[in-house]
Structure 1
């Protein structure tokens, strides 16, 4: 009799391709899980394809991404663990709040409705998309310098540029506009059901040197769950930036995630 391996769904954020999860897939597979890393709606299968066709992902909204991953998860044999980074972290939070998945890990998650903290570094990181209102329905690419400030700021310029060359792709600007207006929109797609007592456990992870989603924003998101009876925990990585899932220290972060999952009884 074949025993089902626990599935894990990895969800990336803006400006990084799904293939950037490849080392995590290998590590989780070796740990006994059954991991996958599907791209966002209409995302080309390769970094080169995504760069060649930037309009493929244009105008994708938060709920478009949530619905896309919900359909993928519905086809899995058992409820998966959902692990997301940046906007992928927000998607993971939304799915778990809706009762989708056995547990979730949100790494440097994009701020949800109700988070008021807006550090200057976060605003500057979002400017490549937000500086032009016409970008709402477009995709936007980062320059090397913009990538280095928003994602690779805690790295050497050489490592940041290498990550840019390997994984950077155009991203839809619409989710950033949705988050920036979330607290003024009654039915914002950035809203997460933080009070659901029946959801699975949730781990939030932040890096103290993150410019794109500063530690203050992640801590504020964590406080949104204070009235929930479900398990919600926060782990912080000192000196790490938004690149912590793809840079030289990714294995440390992945190891903490595996340890936490085991502590929740969610072994492979």
Structure 2
């Protein structure tokens, strides 16, 4: 007997998990069983997260990976993972651990081994790095900072609406871990990129992304050069970091659905 294949959406920094709701509705209509669990400590709503920012603080990359690994173990079969920003890094780590059938990493945060750190990315992370104590704290973006980091490729009015609807404080710890990854042989940002037995991976970049520029995604692709597993890359030239939540989200989502259909990620699956 076949069952609907689970899809787990993983958000990144500064967005609440409910920002995936349009994707959930679309994927469910296509026969999948989607869900978007939050990170450890994430309250259920945007409003609660803003009222209680310290519930989110001091969770690092390994904490988040272990959190999702436990959730995956409760599923009837290995899921498809779709992650944005740091969620894209988490999805890659879990795929490399053979915990997923396939993964899509959208504007994924820099993994260990990726060297370019564009100036725009440094500007995005400055609100965290300007105070070393933020490693153990949660940090919020201002509307102006969100505009630069997420909404630079869309109208200012839409960027403001997305900021008001979806943004929450984010833990500083993952950014510190990613920044020091290439100096730490045991970095939490390390991904098993040489695993040839893993499921297929799709990397997606936005050509106007300030937070994770296309150069970072292409450098990530090179890290997989020793793996024989399917590793594809797609670029949306006119899109920024908001591409999963802005008015053009459906184009990205249908592209993901098409890719999954070509690489064995059908909506039905037999058992684990």
What TM-score, normalized to structure 1? 0.99
In 1, distance between residues paired with 2:39 and 2:6? 18
Matched, 1:30 2:33: no
Shift of 1:239: 1.1
CA–CA separation in structure 2 for the residues paired with 1:63 and 1:157: 35
Q: 1:47-66 to 2 correspondence within 5 Å?
A: 47-66=46-65
- Give the match's secondary structure for 2:127: helix
**How far apart are the structure 2 equivalents of 1:154 and 1:126?**
18
- The whole-number CA distance in structure 2 between the counterparts of 1:267 and 1:252 is 19
TM superposition outliers: structure 1 runs of 4+ over 3 Å: none
Task: Name the residue aligned to 2:231.
Answer: 232
Query: In the TM superposition, what is the alpha-carbon distance from 1:96 to its structure 2 partner?
Result: 0.3
1:172-212 CA distance string (max 9 Å, x none):
00000111111111111000000001100000000010000
Equivalent residue number for residue 270 of structure 2: none
Tell me the CA shift for residue 97 of structure 1.
0.4
Q: What is the number of equivalent residue pairs in this alignment? A: 267
Tell whether 2:177 aligns with 1:178: yes
Paired residues for 1:39-188 under 5 Å:
39-188=38-187
- For structure 2, list consecutive stretches of 5 or more residues without a partner in the other structure: 268-272
**What TM-score do the two structures reach when normalised by structure 2?**
0.97
DSSP 3-state at the match of 1:203:
strand
1:10-63 per-position Cα deviation (integer Å, ceiling 9, x unaligned): 000000000000000000000000000000001000000000000001000000
Shift in Å at residue 146 of structure 1? 0.4
> Which residue does the alignment assign to 1:214?
213
Instruction: Indicate the SS of the match to 2:160.
Output: helix
Which SS does the other structure have where 1:147 is aligned? helix
CA distance in 2, matches of 1:265, 1:121: 36
> How far apart in 2 are the matches of 1:180 and 1:97?
21
CA shift for structure 1 position 107 = 0.2
The 5 A counterparts of 1:10-25 are 10-25=9-24
Tell me the SS of whatever aligns to 2:66.
helix
Q: Distance in 1 between matches of 2:180 and 2:152?
A: 26
Q: Cα offset for 1:265?
A: 1.9
Q: Distance in 2 between matches of 1:80 and 1:171?
A: 26
* Structure 1 segments unaligned to the other structure (5+ residues): none
Residue aligned with 1:205, SS: strand
TM-fit CA distance, 1:115: 0.3
Q: Secondary structure at the match of 1:236?
A: strand
Shift in Å, 1:105: 0.2
What is the root-mean-square deviation of aligned Cα atoms in Å? 0.6
